[in-house]
Amino acid sequence: MTNYLTSNKFFLPIVFFCGLLLVSITFTSCGDDEETNVECNSFPSLGGSINLNGESLPLTVAQRLVSTGTVSRDSYTFQIGGVSADCNSQQSVNLALEVPAESSLTGTYNIRSFLEAGPDEVTGSFLTQSINPISQSLVDFDSGRLVIVDNGDASYEIEVEGSLVGGGDVTLSVEHQF
């Protein structure tokens, strides 16, 4: 009597292929990590991190706009943000201030609401954008304090402690070269 398992030349390759398939399925990751990586592509990281409301977040937004439109004043706008640990939302702080022309930004500034801010005071907002469910929320600052250290070459240390219109607080700490 012939042994079917050893005499059939097609059986051994099929067993080998099935074993290889089983091993590859066993060691393939298919969980939340892969899904998170896909979602994080919506918020590309710039390298570095920010501390926002006590949480360290990857830096995803870092913009500085300088306008020297008037003879005696320079306007600065900063947008600084990071992505949440679950890669579902991005939060950013937007700040705008005017200072005497060609002066250093190093200093402590009061944050005021948009309608109340005067020269050498800051206005701003806090933005949250989410992927799932898709949503966006923008709330203006009502009051607070901004501390900036100008390290030269568009490098700044920025700290914000502010209260939002309608309630809520925001803290931000970052050091970045824009």
- pLDDT tens, position by position, 118-152: 888 999 999 999 989 999 999 999 999 999 999 99
Asked whether the beta carbons of 172 and 159 are under 8 A apart, the reply is yes
Within a domain: 108: yes
Within a domain: 55: yes
Within a domain: 138: yes
Within a domain: 11: no
Question: What is the per-residue pLDDT across 163-172, written as a single tens digit (0 to 9) for each?
Answer: 999 999 999 9
Name the domain count of the chain.
Answer: 1
Asked whether the beta carbons of 81 and 92 are under 8 A apart, the reply is yes
Q: How far is CA 38 from the centre of its chain?
A: 16
Within a domain: 32: no
pLDDT of residue 41: 74
Domain residues for the domain of 71 are 45-177
Within a domain: 33: no
Within a domain: 5: no
Q: Identify whether 133 is preceded by a cis peptide bond (ω within 30 of 0).
A: yes
Within a domain: 70: yes
Q: What is the pTM of this model?
A: 0.74
